[in-house]
């Protein structure tokens, strides 16, 4: 069986080079790899990644709707 890389998370780097927890894309076990993120002129984030080594998945996210949170000892906040 392949390497498990869940959950699929998005973290945000602010101007002070500090990573923030921003968004969880997937929570079920599986391998999520090869992420690519593009921000369009309307500020939406278009995220693509390989989903469970079966297909490419796309998510569209509005970063204005999320409040980035501090990571706790490098871990995702609960």
The residue extents of the domains of the chain are 8-64
**Tens of pLDDT, residues 1-26:** 345 555 666 666 666 667 788 888 88
| pTM more than 0.75 | no
Least confident of 31-35, 41-45, 47-51, 56-60: 31-35
Smallest CA-to-CA distance from 53 within 24, 23, 26 is with 26
Least confident of 23-27, 34-38, 59-63: 23-27
């Amino acid at each position: 069986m392949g390497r498990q890389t869940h959950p699929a998370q998005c973290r945000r780097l602010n101007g002070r080079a500090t990573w923030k927890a921003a968004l969880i894309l997937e929570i079920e076990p599986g391998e999520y790899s090869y992420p690519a993120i593009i921000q369009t002129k309307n500020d939406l984030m278009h995220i693509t990644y390989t989903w469970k080594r079966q297909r490419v998945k796309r998510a569209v996210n509005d970063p204005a709707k999320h409040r980035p949170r501090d990571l706790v000892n490098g871990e995702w906040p609960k």
